[in-house]
Chains A and B, each alone.
Chain A
């Protein structure tokens, strides 16, 4: 095993390259403006300060954006868990007319670039009077083709005998789905839940066009507008804002990472 040390060295160097910008961000969020502009840059904050985080509350309305992001992400996640599992179950286990056509349609929409649906969706949502509202931010994402595909693949792997046994016992179709089959898909639901939450939390383009007043901004929208607006030079504030956007999902990802990587392995998609 004399070769191992340099393999680990490459691995660690890679890890440093990936992690360094994150560390730089966290350390930078505790630096003063003067220190952030210093040449050459400092690595560790010389005079650590909480001022940047205090500014997130006083100069900017970050608690509100945080709340918006959380509400939207939770609603979207709940919707996906309910609807994707239902459609996935129907596509995998129920026989109905047009099932294959519907599945082909789902797969086709997986491949269509987001830009294609972007404009008509905007027209649709605006005409429904939902621009700049929570429903406008949430509704278009309640069902995702990815989620349907993931749940279908998982339901396909469950034996039909369970359904037949339920029918023999006189359980209703809804009961079979909700009480027998759904509990068995817990690993897939965990994967879908975490991936949906992360996706919604990081979603940027749609909230950017739909959230038009400050009280509807999600965190990424607010951070993007701050980093191009009049606060563009307030680097400490931006660093602290970036920390607030990134840290919750990192914590969540670290807690559930097993489910995330498993989901990618099942479907091959992120």
Chain B
């Protein structure tokens, strides 16, 4: 089994260390054949990344995406899970599979579909809005609306996986808990708020951490939908990193990736502290 451990080390653990080393050098695309003949530049890449205007915008956009997107995804996921667990007994499997479909669908195909859904004149969304008399904007071309559009798409695409975890959590709560609440005369909202929700704490911690980690790295949505535009209004940290890679600035790209990594670690740590069992 040792060879397989070696394979794992070569393609997973090795690059992690490799990229840490690279982030302190001036490695560029032309050094590709001779990766060991580059110069160390200390923290220059980190300084350059943190003072870069595009990177600043990317950091702001990523924060926007995470702060709005994560709670929204979790609320929709929890709502769907409660709906399936308490209300929809018949055809439950059908609903579960249906809600999960976007999760297993290629992001590229989703982008093709959603560009139609969001298209200004003959898109699905603006047509539906037209029925109720709203004149929808050109979603993806608007600096104001491009980001909310991507967030809506991300919620649509991702809530299914958190829903499955919430469902497992809800099914682990014994019926007797709710029955006790009913006897005490608590309303269904009170039972949910004061009995079910506290018991779901570990599940909420888990889904918020995994969703948060995923959303902090968000890349594919802007990459396939907007290329970061209009005017960098949807560029994310991962996308800025990829752009630097594309320009051949490998050292700068890896330092940006490490900054993101540190932020992810810190955010995850904070989530653990906030949601830890009391």
Contacts and interface: CB of A to CB of B under 8 A. Distances in A.
Contacts of A86: 1, 4
B67 interface: no
B101 A245 contact: no
A112 B261 contact: yes
Interface string A219-244: 11101100100000001001101100
B72 interface: no
Contacts of B112: 25, 223, 227, 238-239, 241-242
Contact size range, B:
35 or more
A21 B116 CA distance: 9
Interface residues of A, number: 83
B246 to A, nearest CB: 9
A8 B88 contact: yes
A253 B101 contact: yes
B33 A245 contact: no
Contact of A120 (B15, B101, B210): B15
Interface stretch (B16-24, B137-145, B190-198, B270-278): B16-24
Contacts of A8: 87-88
B168 A265 contact: yes
B63 interface: no
Contact of B260 (A113, A123, A235, A257): A113
A242 B83 contact: no
Given A223-B112, A241-B112, A24 B7 contact: no
A22 interface: yes
Interface of chain B, main secondary structure: helix
Question: Max chain A CB contacts within 10 Å: which of B33, B108, B117?
Answer: B108
A143 B16 contact: no
B100 to A, nearest CB: 7
Given A116-B258, A123-B32, A124-B15, A253 B104 contact: yes
A143 B4 contact: yes
Contact of A268 (B127, B206, B256): B206
A89 B16 CA distance: 25
A7 B113 contact: no
Contacts of A140: 11
A257 B99 CA distance: 12
Interface in B1-37: 1, 4-5, 7-8, 10-16, 18-19, 22, 32-33, 35
A119 B5 contact: no
A168 interface: no
B186 interface: no
Contact of B13 (A109, A127, A201, A261): A109
A90 B2 CA distance: 10
B257 interface: yes
Contacts of B250: 119, 123
A37 interface: yes
B114 A21 contact: yes
Question: Max chain A CB contacts within 10 Å: which of B32, B241, B256, B257?
Answer: B257
Interface of A: 3-4, 7-8, 10-11, 14-15, 17-22, 24-25, 28, 36-41, 83, 86-87, 90, 102, 105-106, 109, 111-124, 126-127, 139-140, 142-143, 145, 148, 198, 201-202, 204-205, 219-221, 223-224, 227, 235, 238-239, 241-242, 245-246, 249-250, 253-254, 257, 260-261, 264-265, 268-270
Given A25-B116, A123-B32, 4 more contacts: A11-B88, A19-B101, A111-B265, A270-B103
